[in-house]
Structure 1
């Protein structure tokens, strides 16, 4: 069996459930808002007799419906300021008619100078809010495009294009309403708002908004089902949700190849949150993975490093686009929100276990060997080699990309900056040189592991540090026992070790052993 066809140990439902936690951050809602909304919609679907195939589609529609807010964040921020605060506040208002238009006008140009607020409001008035409607339509197209990349069915893709419709036909696209709206979207329209109102105002608050928007935003039969079964539908709001436990029928195991494709898709969409970051995550992943391979890290660590590179910026969903695109110096408070992004990355990817390891590596992308990084402020041996490679790849790649506060650096300037970081102790020299070599830059010395270990010797060191005997090393690497013994002798000589235990300490000190694997 080809490696790409092996079971990756994770289901698509689990992956999207994790990604939905990042979406929650972008909506200004507590984590699991999207999952709780799905649970409410799923329970209503059961009471309303929705067919099994549509109930399965409901999960994927729920997980992806808000993902388009990533792509339109720069545009939302340009018109309404802090995009996360704007979306969070929107749950308090029916966005159609005079109330909705008033909401958009009140937020027009928020956070900007008066001339900017007036200009945005004037444009909105003279155009009749055309730019807002275009943004909503773009959101829907983006979400449906991701569903297509993930290989989901046409029912999911079509439903996602209707997310901003309304029962009364006053949404986007205009005129699409009533039973022309997919049943899954009708359920989600209500569940998305009701989850927030139930959490902030209890069941009474949830039922109040459902009644108020019945026949307008919400389908009457969906509201009636909620009114009839509210205590059961809205129960256990604070419990953790595992989609595969809630509905084993959602199980759809991913192969290694499918997981890579899915992570690449999520990485590409994450980078849309900031226009200057397009392609950043994929570029970091390729550099870090190639560098890990050149250093002789085990195949599993090479794969994990590359995948962590794809996911390392997922926590940026919790940082407003107004901060990411700020041309000037960030305030202390703004910088703290940026620093929190790597914490969010780790929390979003905390489960299942297959993602937790990737999350632990991804969260080290901004750590530095001298302790000056974030979010944990790790230093020295506390940063695994996978994290050192990822940090170097992220730093180097970011230098080559334009940012709001500076133009892109040239190759020469980036190379010099990375080597300066090596000299000051911020970046690990072996890891950074491996990244520079992977990027095609001329290196000053032969790329190798710590203490000049060859890639093969790194492999052997990792094995013996984990208690593997000489004969087992030979068997696992397909070499003779004598050759394995020679490698061990050279490792001891180069590292100054005199035993397996001191060699293990060297491996730990240089980040070659992942604490999650010990």
Structure 2
């Protein structure tokens, strides 16, 4: 169900958390859908073991949430081991807390850095027996716990998350937590996460071989035995390709988010995404708020203001798929690195479109990096395909990013950012009206009156959109709940302001100024 007018999209907790798990998949160096499949494996094992509904629900969500903290220390990880995504991908081949794990880290120490840096990182690992890595695991658990709190999960979820890196033999993190002191959902999720990767890579036998090799060390022996009994049946029943639909259908206790809870959830996602690099701290929320203010300044309806803010919160959801060796690089990017950066918009698109109710949000968020002259990414769309809402978000993103420090430059002053933004409008990359609305929203004096194009009011923009889609005067009146005569007066004023006398000319004006989110005709 998609929101229209003043309504709010209907989104479930499973869809919101599932969408975040897709971002975590990228950060783990796994295909999107890894955590969804892990959740199904964990849930089906829990069902066969006869766990209660409450335990099954905890297991289901824990599998989606347990690893989302992996990007929280990406900046520090990249500084010590190079490409943070490649590092995490390789961890599935060694046992956390084992000598093999330490050996793996030592081989990766200082990757991509000079000899002195490699020697220093290696020395620190040996001298502290990997203390910095353990500290990173603690940080991971802390931020996932905070996220769970913000998403409305109970205290038990936070307790389970704090044990994500515990081992059955007590040699994990937190130190000394062992055996049945580790919650059963946590033990199941850790097994399922490992099984999914090795099953995908080498089939059922490979998955069973790996968990047998860790029986009694990191994994609960009884759970390994249970999985040996049920594993083939569980794995054979998994969907062949994507597990998204199966994941949502499997939710043991579906909960729908209210409009306020959805906004709070999207804010939590935005803050979490920005943990990817200290240079991004507060970026998504700042862009969202500025874009919403600019949308009001541009004279767009209140429903569009809410939509743009939500799109701003999630416009960089795909950043987790790009390593911090690129995001935090102090120098110029190579062509290959730039292509990888541009992929994050594609990843964002893929994640958001998994949730049909967020279709309108996705349609704006995924155009944030497009430009009117066709030089943007990831689709290089022409101006006519970019609605005004997306033009406003793009300008807000540019302005806000300019006022933040980046690895290759200090933050611009507000005046410097304003000059640069107006330059982008002059050369045809950004929409001039959107730029002035953003600058007005940021506290600058705009060079033209705020409001819609040609001085249209918010109501006139709504009418123009309906006219462009071939709605009759009566249909416009019924849609907007106004008298037909009032609708007719609006149409006359609009035609005067935009210098048009026909519906076709009005439609062309609306498309030229990005006022149409779609080109679909109005239903009779």
Q: TM (normalized to structure 1)? A: 0.96
- Residue in 1 aligned with 2:140? 139
Query: What's the CA shift for 1:213?
Result: 0.4
- Residue in 1 aligned with 2:315? 312
- Residue in 2 aligned with 1:36? 37
Query: In the aligned structure 2, how far is the partner of 1:301 from the partner of 1:454?
Result: 14
| 1:41-80 aligned within 5 A | 41-80=42-81
Q: Are 1:341 and 2:344 an aligned pair?
A: yes
Inter-CA distance 516–240: structure 2 relative to 1 (3 Å threshold): farther
Instruction: Name the SS of the counterpart of 2:257 in structure 1.
Output: strand
Q: Are 1:458 and 2:447 an aligned pair?
A: no
Q: Are 1:201 and 2:202 an aligned pair?
A: yes
- Residue in 1 aligned with 2:507? 504
- Residue in 2 aligned with 1:240? 242
* Structure 2 unaligned blocks of 5 or more: none
Are 1:8 and 1:253, in contact at CA under 8 Å, matched by a contact in 2? no
The alignment covers a number of residue pairs equal to: 515
For the aligned residue pairs, the C-alpha RMSD in angstroms reads 1.8
Q: Are 1:212 and 2:225 an aligned pair?
A: no
Instruction: Name the SS of the counterpart of 1:250 in structure 2.
Output: coil
Instruction: Name the SS of the counterpart of 1:254 in structure 2.
Output: coil
- Residue in 1 aligned with 2:131? 130
Query: What's the CA shift for 1:432?
Result: 1.2
Q: Are 1:150 and 2:151 an aligned pair?
A: yes
- Residue in 1 aligned with 2:166? 165
CA deviations 1:380-407 (Å, max 9, x no partner) are 1111111111100100000000000000
Are 1:285 and 1:308, in contact at CA under 8 Å, matched by a contact in 2? yes
| 1:292-311 aligned within 5 A | 292-311=295-314
Query: In the aligned structure 1, how far is the partner of 2:254 from the partner of 2:312?
Result: 26
Of the structure 1 ranges 407-416 and 74-83, higher mean CA displacement relative to structure 2 is found in: 74-83
Q: 1:355 aligns with which of 340, 354, 358?
A: 358
* Structure 1 unaligned blocks of 5 or more: none
Inter-CA distance 516–65: structure 2 relative to 1 (3 Å threshold): farther
Query: In the aligned structure 2, how far is the partner of 1:248 from the partner of 1:133?
Result: 33
Inter-CA distance 13–243: structure 2 relative to 1 (3 Å threshold): farther
Are 2:36 and 2:64, in contact at CA under 8 Å, matched by a contact in 1? yes
Query: In the aligned structure 2, how far is the partner of 1:211 from the partner of 1:248?
Result: 29
Query: What's the CA shift for 1:507?
Result: 1.1
Of the structure 1 ranges 399-408 and 300-309, higher mean CA displacement relative to structure 2 is found in: 300-309
Query: What's the CA shift for 1:301?
Result: 2.5
Are 2:290 and 2:441, in contact at CA under 8 Å, matched by a contact in 1? yes
Query: In the aligned structure 1, how far is the partner of 2:445 from the partner of 2:420?
Result: 15
Q: Are 1:437 and 2:424 an aligned pair?
A: no
Query: In the aligned structure 2, how far is the partner of 1:136 from the partner of 1:506?
Result: 55
Query: What's the CA shift for 1:460?
Result: 1.8
Query: What's the CA shift for 1:84?
Result: 0.3
| 1:68-107 aligned within 5 A | 68-107=69-108
Are 1:8 and 1:254, in contact at CA under 8 Å, matched by a contact in 2? no
Query: In the aligned structure 1, how far is the partner of 2:500 from the partner of 2:520?
Result: 22
Query: In the aligned structure 1, how far is the partner of 2:248 from the partner of 2:307?
Result: 26
- Residue in 2 aligned with 1:110? 111
Query: What's the CA shift for 1:473?
Result: 3.7
Q: 1:446 aligns with which of 449, 453, 465?
A: 449
Are 2:68 and 2:144, in contact at CA under 8 Å, matched by a contact in 1? yes
Q: Are 1:329 and 2:361 an aligned pair?
A: no
CA deviations 1:423-451 (Å, max 9, x no partner) are 00110011111111111111111022223
Query: What's the CA shift for 1:131?
Result: 0.9
Are 1:37 and 1:195, in contact at CA under 8 Å, matched by a contact in 2? yes
Inter-CA distance 6–254: structure 2 relative to 1 (3 Å threshold): farther
Instruction: Name the SS of the counterpart of 2:430 in structure 1.
Output: coil
Instruction: Name the SS of the counterpart of 2:165 in structure 1.
Output: coil
Q: TM (normalized to structure 2)? A: 0.95
Inter-CA distance 78–245: structure 2 relative to 1 (3 Å threshold): closer
Query: What's the CA shift for 1:471?
Result: 4.3
- Residue in 2 aligned with 1:188? 189
CA deviations 1:194-242 (Å, max 9, x no partner) are 1110111111110110110011111111111111112211123524322
Query: What's the CA shift for 1:469?
Result: 3.2
Instruction: Name the SS of the counterpart of 2:392 in structure 1.
Output: helix
- Residue in 1 aligned with 2:15? 14
Are 1:44 and 1:222, in contact at CA under 8 Å, matched by a contact in 2? no
